[in-house]
Amino acid sequence: MSVATTGQESVTTFRSSAARSMWVDTVQRLLRNPQGAIAVGGLLIIAIAAVAAPLIAWHDPIAQDASARLLSPSWNHPFGTDELRRDLFSRNLHGLKTALALSFISVLTGAVIGTMTGFAVGYIRGWADAVVMRLVDALLAFPGLLIAFAILTILGEGLENIGIAIAVFAIPGFTRLARAQMLGERNKDYVLAAQVLGASTPRIIFRHIVLNALPPLLTQVALAIASGVLIVAALGYFGLGIEADTPSLGGLVNDSRPYLQRAWWYPVFPGAILAFLLLCLNLFADAINEAISPYARGRS
C-alpha cells in the first residue's frame, strides 16, 4: 500500500470521526435548547397526526352525514362539521397530511438538485458558475406563489404540478446557499490536503466538504418547508391545483367564509393547525441555526 493511499485514508478517517462528533454535538445542543425541544416535540406530534390520519380520523373526509350540517364540536365530531355535512376533524387531518407530504417531498427534491448544483459550480467556478448564478438570480426575483401560478397555468392543475412548483421555488435558495458554503470551504487546509493526496473532485466535494457545509442547509430545509406549506395553503384557498373533494387547509379556510358567524369552529381549526405548523418549523430553523453557530458552540 502506498504512502499516499495510507495518508488519504487517515485524512478520511479523521474527517469522518470529526464530522460525526460535530453532528452529535449539534443534536445535543438542539435538544438542550428549550426552543429546539418544543419545536421537535411539536413537529413529532404533527408528523404522527399526518401519517396516522386514516387511523386517527374515524370519519371518511368526503362522506356526508344527512343530519350533521354545521354541527359544533362534539365527541363524535371533535372539529364540528361543514356545510356539506362532512367531518371537519377528518378533513383537517387529511389536509395536514397533504400539505406536509407535498411540501416535504417537493422541498427535499429541490434541496437535492439545488445543493448539488451549488456545490458543483462553487467548486468548478468559471463560466458555469456565472451562467447558473444568473439563472438563480432570475428565479429569485419571482415570489413562490407567482411561480406556482405560472407552472399551474402551463402544466395544469394537480398535486404533482403543485409539487413541481414548490421544488422549482426551492432550488434557487439551496443553490445559492450551497455555493456560498462551497466557496467558504474549498480553500481550507483539509481540502488542499485531499487534493495533494490525489483525491478526485467528486470525492473531495461529497466525501469531505459536504459534511462541513451541510448543517446550514438544514435551516434552509425547515424554512423552505414552511414556505411550501404556505404555497399549498394559498393555492387551496384560491381553489387552484387541488380538486374540490381533496381536503386542504387553505381550502377549508376559504370554504368557511360564508359561515363565519354561524360556525366559528370552521375556520379556527385549520388556521390554528397552519399557525402551529409554521411556528414549529420556524422555531426548529432558529434552533438549528443556533446549534450550529460557532458562538453557541463556544458558549457550550
pLDDT in tens, 125-150: 888 888 999 999 888 888 888 888 88
At 21 the pLDDT is: 61
Each residue of 150-174: pLDDT tens digit? 888 888 888 889 999 999 999 999 9
Each residue of 2-54: pLDDT tens digit? 544 554 555 455 455 555 566 677 778 878 888 889 999 999 999 999 889 88
At 216 the pLDDT is: 80
Each residue of 176-204: pLDDT tens digit? 998 888 888 777 777 778 778 777 777 77
Contact call for residues 95 and 248 (beta carbons, < 8 A): yes
How far is it, in rounded angstroms, from Cα 114 to Cα 170?
Answer: 8
Q: What is the band of 103 on the pLDDT scale with cuts at 50, 70, 90?
A: very high
At 11 the pLDDT is: 47
Mean pLDDT of 218-242: 88
At 22 the pLDDT is: 63
Look at residue 260 and tell me whether its pLDDT is greater than 60.
yes
Share of the chain above pLDDT 90, in %: 30
Look at residue 242 and tell me whether its pLDDT is greater than 90.
no
Look at residue 263 and tell me whether its pLDDT is greater than 50.
yes
> What SS3 state is found at 260?
coil
Cα–Cα distances (Å) from 182 to 136, 172, 174, 206, 210, in that order, read 16, 15, 12, 11, 8
User: Comparing 140 with 205, which gets the higher pLDDT?
Assistant: 140
At 89 the pLDDT is: 93
At 3 the pLDDT is: 46
The cell for 50 is 399526518
Separate counts of helices (H) and strands (E) for the chain: 14, 0
User: Which sign does the torsion angle of CA 136, 139, 142, 143 carry?
Assistant: negative
Contact call for residues 234 and 102 (beta carbons, < 8 A): no
Averaging pLDDT over each range in 82-86, 122-126, 243-247, which range is the top one? 82-86
> What SS3 state is found at 190?
helix
How far is it, in rounded angstroms, from Cα 75 to Cα 58?
Answer: 12
Strand (E) positions, the chain? none
At 1 the pLDDT is: 47
Mean pLDDT of the chain: 83
Residue 229: how many CA atoms within 13 Å on its side-chain side? Answer: 26
